[in-house]
Amino acid sequence: MKNILIIARKEIQEGLRNRWVVAVTLLLASLALTLSFLGSAPTGNVGAGRLDIVIVSLSSLTIFLVPLIALLLAHDAIVGEMERGTLLLLLSYPVGRKQVVLGKFLGHTLILSVATFVGYGAAGAALVVAGTAVDPESWIAFASMIGSSILLGTVFIAIGYLVSASVTQRSTAGGMALGIWLFFVIIYDMGLLGALVSTKGEGFSPGLLSALLIGNPTDAYRLLNLGSQTAGSVSAIAGVAANSMLTPGLLVTSLMLWVVIPLLLAMLRFSWREL
């Protein structure tokens, strides 16, 4: 465990040195604050609380931005060290390959977690400073959104590690990371929507639709946050959530499996790999 924490600290220090933590935090905070102030306009028309509008806006932003940030952080975590020649030096110390993967994963997860918590928390703090009245249910939904955003980022960090452990060049890892982002964020949902429209929903039982939705971590995140009662009044996905068989517990479990399985595969692949 000590070796894992040492490697995690090394990744955090490198993130601070490369301004990753500051850059990601400022990006998320600026976008969150912008959406927070702009989100006040429609509240009178839809009858939703201002924080509910912020939750929907930030959730939609998270689906596109957080997976990309996570993949950029993780895609060269292993192959990049191999190209620089520092991985052999690291493994010359009494540290196992699985410890290297877990330590790097923990460090990158902490970087993204701090950036997300501080960046998105700024939107909630701005509403408090502005004296906006917010009910407790909305605050719970907001906290859930931040936690699930961190979990979604962790999913794509794990996927990025699997990519990094499987290729031999950073450029290949970068291309695969971009392709994975496009597939899960854009192409998957376009294909699913096209299938639903072309068949008019026939043949898509609630069980099959639920399985297809948790087959994409961004869809599980979307249902978890945009299908809730608080955000449902201003979210178009509320109807899909009502017709699926997915409970919040199942959605969180599916996201956790999306973290564990790619990370285990990454450790297994790295253990077998010749350096």
Burial of 136 (0-12, 13-18, 19+ CB in 10 A): exposed
Output the pTM of the full model.
Answer: 0.88
Q: What single DSSP character describes residue 89?
A: H
Residue 90 predicted with pLDDT over 50:
yes
Residue 178, C-beta contacts closer than 8 angstroms, at least 6 positions apart: 71
Q: For residue range 174-229, list pLDDT tens digits in order.
A: 999 999 999 999 998 888 888 877 776 676 677 777 888 888 999 899 888 876 54
Query: What span, in angstroms and rounded, lies between the C-alpha atoms of 225 and 220?
Result: 9
Query: How far is residue 31 CA from its own chain's centroid?
Result: 16
Q: What is the pLDDT of residue 176?
A: 94
DSSP for 226-275 reads HTSHHHHTT-TTHHHHHHS---HHHHHHHHHHHHHHHHHHHHHHHHH---
- Span 241-261, mean pLDDT? 83
Q: What is the pLDDT of residue 57?
A: 83
- Span 7-11, mean pLDDT? 87
Q: What is the pLDDT of residue 59?
A: 87
In the chain, where are the structural domains located?
A: 2-272
